[in-house]
Structure 1
Amino acid sequence: MSQVRFGPVTFDAGLVIFDKDGTLFPFHALWQPVYLRAVAGLVAQVENPEQVAAELHRTLGYDPATERFAGQGPFASAANDVVAILMAGVLYRHGKPQRSWDAALRLVQEQAAPILAAPAADAPLAATDLERLFTDLRNAGVRIAVLTSDEAATTRRMLQASRVAHLVDMVVAADDGHPHKPAPEAVWHICATLQVPPPHTALVGDTVTDLRTGEAAGVGLRVAVLTGPSAHEELA
């Protein structure tokens, strides 16, 4: 274990688990253009595009007036498979002409899911100097993991493009078979695999869901950052 400073707090850490989007990479810069492309692809297939776009924004927690996502909204917190189900629900309820549920879901899988699965993974804009941060942690003997609601392949591409993949001990993603956040099982799996108990683990995230995940898992320190969609008062 090593004494690691997180702002004013010093913590005896053996492992730091980072969320990805909104924590390692600024959320809006990465996901807003992806989201808008996915919505555009869907509304191009309906006769009432303005209504469907408005319902998609409302359902997924996006405010077009401020161009911000709600910190506790589905798009900011849920895995892509959940987002796809919500999108299909909007198409089923509001899209014209009326589609069956299977047809609505198929349209999302064809038009939106490929876009959501492939953000700018090859040239991500990091929230900080990840190579320096991760190198400092590794030099202090601290293990590093990434726990994300994104897919594993995309996550690894982003880490590779940021030149830090070799510094990360473990990646657990939404398609790895563990219950999604805020369930604690993925954290416990990381801790068991890397042989660091939760009380000596810090979890760093940008949403209330991340913090609840850490609380449920019993980690020793939960760290909130403001590079995601959540406001300070939501995370306090």
Structure 2
Amino acid sequence: MSEERCSLFSVFYSLFTIYYFYSLFSDLCLSVSTCPVQFPAFAGTCLLHGVRGSRPALYNDYTGAGVGVRRTLNGSWSIYCGEIEVAQFMITKQVHETALVIFDKDGTLISYDHWGEIMHHRSKRLAHRLNLSAAAEEQLCLFMGVTPYTSAILPGGLVYAPRQEAEKKVGEYIHIHFGLSQKEAFQLTTDVFSEIDQETDFKLSLQPLPGAVSLMENLRVAGAKIAIATHDSAAATQIHLHSLGWTELIDMVVSPDIVPEQKPSPQPILRICSALDIAPEQTTMVGDNVTDVLAGKNAGCKISIGVLTGVSNAEEFSGADLIIKTLDEVLVV
């Protein structure tokens, strides 16, 4: 038997010895859930933890006392007993605890600025495919929410709309004004949107918003899970995360491709909580749009935070638990 297998056998023998005595003297029941650490002996990891009260089986109490094993930074295995870690963060001198933070993407983690140029490229590609006149091309560009010559984003335009909504409205515009069938117009639109995504060098155009990277890194170090609930497509989001080098920071992404119900529906948040096995009551939602805050409220999140770096203003965030100017204001402690 290899040295590592012997070590693992000793760990698990000790673990279940502790479990036996722990179960004798505790009125907590023990359950098994998935943990991010991967053991070489099998695909998953077992984490034994306490479950309190009558919480639905879908969610487990990640603050209960328990016993488990984890791999240390030097590669060895260790047994631990006690409380499952949650991250603590501070805003305006008030400390909060969370096991999971769900972020919106555009306007929250990433600046909207790059979308003006991208939407302009999409409008020009569509105009070329449709063989439009200069005047018709300008009107299409304006309809898509950007100025024809500077790529400036127009307030309230389609740049801020969920991707599926933007594709649908542009397809309808093409169908009405340029004679294509609805099916042809929508197919052309979705094809062009995807083409521009694939051709764009997002490493040059994407700009993380102040505090985004350090906040996610510090939350991970503190033990919190991180997820993204976005209105963008899954494919585009993965391109963005890869370009920014964020793929290792994010535990899960939910987009309309995965959950058709969009924010302010609670379903994107509930899907993430279910998949990561963390209750909404242990979850924080952060977004720049009032729909993000409403989604957090509708899902029963512990905290819903509005950040003033995107679509909504402070008045629109009146229902938020907290309002911050930038993510720099969040200090992980």
TM-score bracket for the superposition, by shorter chain length: 0.7 to 0.9
The match for 2:89 is: 4
Distance 1:6 1:52, change over 3 A: farther
Paired with 2:133 and 2:316, the residues of 1 have a C-alpha distance of: 35
* CA pair 193-110 structure 1, distance change in 2 beyond 3 A: closer
Q: 1:54 to 1:152 in 2, by over 3 A?
A: same
Report the counterpart of residue 215 of structure 2 in structure 1: 133
Structure 1 residues 188 and 88: alpha-carbon distance in aligned structure 2, compared to 1, 3 A threshold: same
CA-to-aligned-CA distance 1:39-72 (integer Å, 9 cap, x gap): 12223325455356436634x5x3649933445x
Deviation at 1:199, TM superposition (A): 2.0
Q: 1:81 aligns with which of 154, 161, 164?
A: 164
Residue from 91, 98, 101 that aligns with 2:182: 101
Match of 1:161 in 2: 243
How far did 1:20 drift?
Answer: 0.9
CA distance change for structure 1 residues 50 and 113 in 2, over 3 Å: closer, same or farther? Answer: farther
Gap change, CA 1:226 and 1:119, over 3 Å in 2: farther
- Kindly state the Cα deviation for residue 155 of structure 1 after the two structures are TM-superposed: 2.0
Which whole-Å deviations, capped at 9, do the CAs of 1:104-125 have from their partners, x for residues lacking one? 2233234344225665433422
- Deviations along 1:168-204, one digit per CA (max 9) or x if unpaired, are 2212223224422222111011112222211221111
Q: SS at the partner of 1:174?
A: coil
Q: Which amino acid aligns with 1:2?
A: A
In 1, the alpha carbon distance for the partners of 2:302 and 2:109 equals: 20
Instruction: Give, as a single letter, the amino acid of the residue that structure 1 aligns with 2:88.
Output: Q
Larger CA Rg, structure 1 vs 2: 2
Normalised by the length of structure 2, the TM-score is 0.60
**TM superposition shift of 1:25:** 0.6
Q: AA paired with 2:118?
A: V
Structure 1 residue identity aligned to 2:190: Q
**Residues 1:50 and 2:135 aligned together:** yes
Match of 1:224 among 306, 309, 317: 306
Q: Which residue of 1 aligns with 2:70?
A: none
Matched residue count: 229
Report SS of the residue matched to 2:202. Answer: coil
Matched AA of 2:121: R
CA contact (8 A) 2:286 2:292 kept: yes
Gap change, CA 1:92 and 1:157, over 3 Å in 2: closer
User: Contact conserved, 1:77 with 1:207, CA < 8 A, in 2?
Assistant: no
CA deviation vs aligned residue, 1:127-178 (integer Å, no higher than 9, x gap): 1354422221122221111111222233233223333321222122232244
Q: C-alpha distance in 2, partners of 1:179/1:155?
A: 17
Structure of higher RCO (CA pairs closer than 8 Å, 6+ residues apart): 1
Alpha-carbon deviation of 1:16? 0.6
Q: Identity rate of aligned residues, in percent?
A: 28
Deviation at 1:216? Answer: 1.7
Please tell me the residue identity of whatever aligns with 1:15: L
Is the Cα contact below 8 Å between 2:197 and 2:236 reproduced in 1? no
Aligned mate of 1:207, from 289, 314, 321: 289
Deviation at 1:22, TM superposition (A): 1.0
CA distance in 1, matches of 2:202, 2:170: 23
Are the counterparts in 1 of residues 116 and 146 from structure 2 also a CA contact under 8 Å? Answer: no
* Letter paired with 1:170: M
Instruction: State the alpha-carbon separation in 1 of the partners of residues 249 and 189 from structure 2.
Output: 36
Matched, 1:68 2:150: no
User: Counterpart of 1:146 in 2: which secondary structure?
Assistant: strand
Q: CA deviation at 1:235?
A: 3.3
> As a proportion of its length, which structure holds more helix?
1
